[in-house]
Structure 1
């Protein structure tokens, strides 16, 4: 499936390259405003002059963008992003003397990053609503044989102000499952721990340059796997709930990540106890001790911590799939929500007891009225 998907995408790119028209943008579109920009280029909100349809134009500078990468992103978005929470291209693509351009669905309410309040996040109801949609979108993309590889708030676009409909976009880094790519480390909590060797290689290369060593290092290559997206979704859940990141980077020298990993492994040892899989009594006693989550996870419920153990598993082969998010919806992801639910349950129980007591008294009065006593 994955090899077939990659081959099919390549064929679509080859065919579309033969029919790429050259147009003057202003003849066909009225540009309204800038929606976003990045290293790839920029996205402009525009209105089609003949149809009057609003759309987003993704504009790539030709001098820094290869035709193949432009056509790959366009065709992937056009042909494979059929899920309602994936941003789809609209079948309009063209070139100008300076740019490559394609049209896509517009997120008229900005991106997810714009609604996250620093150190606060967004409401838990919105978080679960967003993650339910993204779970389906990413699972759909994986089922077609592709991994997004760049899930972050800036690439999730809003179709309304309440996050009732969001769309994952920006497929410039998407690749077929199982393909090999050069490992690139970047300082971000979204960067998976399995590419840490690339950071070490980068340091070694800098050292050699400083020493004037001419010897080149071989690139490190990694396989593109769905677990990359699972990691990013786990970090995104934390970001939405707290308005912060759990760590600066997922490497052994980052204190926040190191504390999380230590907690994670203690949890794994506790699970062994449940199966009777400890090597000695000392290990067993150590595992039975309380294991509170790291301080950066204070205020998060046990339910969402279990979800983190699935999505943020340090070992990529044992990382849970995006679809597993659905199993954790509906329950409390914040401790304050859990406490509120318990309070409501206790009040409901008290009310039920009162009703039963009143009902018992009423039955007794009825029996007395009938002369049964």
Structure 2
């Protein structure tokens, strides 16, 4: 149930009355200016050194298309840290500085991985340090066709929604919510944090989907009505991705492969059920979810972005049953370790 992020292209902030209010546009512009200032300062303070001169590598924590994350200790102080290394062959200096600065700007929140203010440049790449997550990421805990125990799923939902609200309050949109980017710091998902801010952009940045959509891609980005020049990104994109993620946490699989009714029968079944409002039309993938889960996911997965629930829609549903009791009594695991 993994899946690569759909490729996207971004342009400058844009405004049209049907897309953004003036207040929303100002939020995005303020976020863009603040990041630009941080980029300038961070560019002047990069440490030029070989990684092994400053840190001792302990083990690898993660690997991606553009780099890797390793657990290191400071050679003098012995402090354990996570070091993200990006190759110059696949990452521009500006791209590295951008991700580094977004992490710095957001990392004070308890639901976001803390980025330390040390950026490195080596002959072959770039790197920055953050707090290490020794429990791994959420993808390793999701059991196929079972998901997470309900208590763990609700803990994740609460913390992730809170972190996304913080990101949105800063005029930014996260745009990369998936289990691989949720790091686990305590067993049972008692403490999880968002990481990886390379796709985070100021609200209003024009976005064009350049590759095939994936389950987390909101329908307004991939439908036939999507404008060639792109759509200004909004927090509603993160709300859609949160709905898909919560479905995965509760069931262990995606609700659909792509949100295109002409191409994906599972998505078409969802739209038909939504339009009918009849319990008898419930699609098979939704069996086992409770009415409370239906209500929450129905708000987050509204195909109309302006009618879609905010990420904070999670809050009123916490503490209610999200899985049918028969499903829970059918041997659900005791806890995510």
Fold shared by both chains (TM-score > 0.5) = yes
Whether 1:225 and 2:251 are equivalent positions in the alignment is no
- Structure number, greater radius of gyration: 1
Corresponding residue for residue 53 of structure 1: 79
Cα offsets for 1:264-303 (capped at 9, x unmatched) = 1223xxxxxxxxxxxxxxxxxxxxx654421110010011
Are 2:42 and 2:119, in contact at CA under 8 Å, matched by a contact in 1? no
Corresponding residue for residue 266 of structure 2: 256
Of 301, 307, 332, the residue aligned with 2:290 is 301
Cα offsets for 1:42-82 (capped at 9, x unmatched) = 11111111221111111110121111111111111112232
Corresponding residue for residue 332 of structure 2: none
Cα offsets for 1:87-137 (capped at 9, x unmatched) = 121111110000100001111100000111111111000000111001110
Task: Say which SS state the counterpart of residue 316 (structure 1) adopts.
Answer: coil
Corresponding residue for residue 155 of structure 1: 181
Tell me which stretches of 4 or more aligned residues in structure 1 moved more than 4 Å. 337-340
Between the aligned partners of 1:292 and 1:333, the Cα distance in structure 2 is 19
- Give the number of aligned pairs: 302
Of 260, 266, 274, the residue aligned with 2:276 is 266
Query: 1:1-373 alignment to 2 at 5 Å?
Result: 1-197=27-223, 219-252=228-261, 253-267=263-277, 291-336=280-325
> Under a length normalisation based on structure 1, what TM-score does the superposition of the two structures give?
0.78
Q: 1:147/1:290 Cα in 2 relative to 1: closer, same or farther (>3 Å)?
A: closer
Between the aligned partners of 1:30 and 1:305, the Cα distance in structure 2 is 49
The offset of 1:219, in angstroms, is 4.8
Are 1:185 and 1:196, in contact at CA under 8 Å, matched by a contact in 2? no
Q: 1:290/1:136 Cα in 2 relative to 1: closer, same or farther (>3 Å)?
A: closer
Q: 1:22/1:339 Cα in 2 relative to 1: closer, same or farther (>3 Å)?
A: closer
> Under a length normalisation based on structure 2, what TM-score does the superposition of the two structures give?
0.86
Question: Per residue, is there more strand in 1 or in 2?
Answer: 2
Question: Per residue, is there more helix in 1 or in 2?
Answer: 1
What 5-or-longer segments of structure 1 have no aligned partner?
202-217, 268-288, 341-373
Between the aligned partners of 1:189 and 1:179, the Cα distance in structure 2 is 22
What 5-or-longer segments of structure 2 have no aligned partner?
1-26, 330-337
Are 1:185 and 1:195, in contact at CA under 8 Å, matched by a contact in 2? no
Q: 1:315/1:185 Cα in 2 relative to 1: closer, same or farther (>3 Å)?
A: farther
